[in-house]
Structures are given as structure tokens and as C-alpha cells.
């Protein structure tokens, strides 16, 4: 039996529907938040922490 009220579309949505909605929200949120909090490479767009660095801290080309 579903939790919540029996007349609400959100409460009576299937488990698959609720899971898909949660995944969609998580992906959208991460897509919107990533550029704000993580620095990206201007050349390739990947996160800067994934780039190889030399011992002195400069980037390896």
C-alpha cells in the first residue's frame, strides 16, 4: 500500500516513477552545481583535479 494520501498523483506514483524522478533531480542538481563549485579546464572542460601535475604543481602538457 502506498504511503501518503490516496488521491495525490505524487503519493500514488509507482516506485519506478519515484526512483526515476529522484535520479533526474540528482543528475540535474549535479549538472547545475558542478560548474559553480568545481574548477574546470578551459580547454577540455574536465575537472581540474583530474589533470596530471608536475612535482612543482604546474600542469603537465
Express each pLDDT in 2-28 by its tens digit: 466 777 877 788 889 889 999 999 999
> Of 61, 59, 36, nearest to 48 (Cα)?
59
Q: What is the pTM of this model?
A: 0.48
| Cα separation, 48 vs 5, whole angstroms | 47
| Cα separation, 20 vs 27, whole angstroms | 11
> How much is the pLDDT for 60?
67
Express each pLDDT in 43-54 by its tens digit: 887 787 777 777
The residue that leads in pLDDT, 35 or 23, is 23
Amino acid at each position: 500500500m502506498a504511503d501518503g494520501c490516496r488521491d495525490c498523483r505524487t503519493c500514488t506514483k509507482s516506485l519506478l516513477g519515484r526512483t526515476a524522478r529522484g535520479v533526474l533531480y540528482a543528475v540535474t542538481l549535479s549538472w547545475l552545481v558542478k560548474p559553480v563549485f568545481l574548477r574546470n579546464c578551459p580547454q577540455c572542460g574536465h575537472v581540474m583535479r583530474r589533470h596530471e601535475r608536475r612535482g612543482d604543481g604546474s600542469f603537465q602538457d
